[in-house]
Amino acid sequence: MLETLLMNRNLQAQVIPAGRPIEAGWISSHFGLRTDPFHGNQEHHGGIDFAAKEGSPIKTVAAGVVTFAGERAGYGILVEVNHGNGTSTRYGHCKEVLVSVGDLVKKGDEVAL
């Protein structure tokens, strides 16, 4: 029973997003109210945007399943990973996608450049 509990905790820790998707770079937009870059109005931003040099590797911040990999309006080239329990992460404005829809990824796997 103890072994099962420990394995479940380890699995849960792997699917909770934590950390940075880039090794070097900066936060270009924080979570919460911000000035919308397209309209100039104050709006809620439901994520955290990171910026890095072109071609930098983008790594997953949690384990999951790739649910989208391609072009999407507002994101350019996008990779989306579903982590379960209604949580997903989006890695947008990519130069190149390194995964396909349906791929299982682990925390720290490179998914795009």
The pLDDT tens digits for 81-101 are 999 888 899 999 999 999 999
Q: Which pair of tokens denotes residue 75?
A: 């994101």
- Strand order of the β-sheet with 87-91 is 87-91, 76-84, 64-72, 104-105
Residue 97 is predicted with a pLDDT of 97
Residue 74 is predicted with a pLDDT of 86
Residue 17 is predicted with a pLDDT of 84
Distance CA 101, CA 80 (A): 9
Q: Rounded to whole angstroms, what are the CA distances from 88 to 48, 80, 84?
A: 13, 7, 7
Residue 36 is predicted with a pLDDT of 80
Please name which of 33, 1, 98 lies closest in space to residue 59, comparing C-alpha atoms: 98
Residue 107 is predicted with a pLDDT of 94
What's the pTM value of the predicted model, to 2 decimals?
Answer: 0.82
DSSP H helical segments within 2-72, as ranges?
A: 2-15
**Looking at this protein, which amino acid is placed at residue 1?**
M
- pLDDT of 12 strictly over 90: no
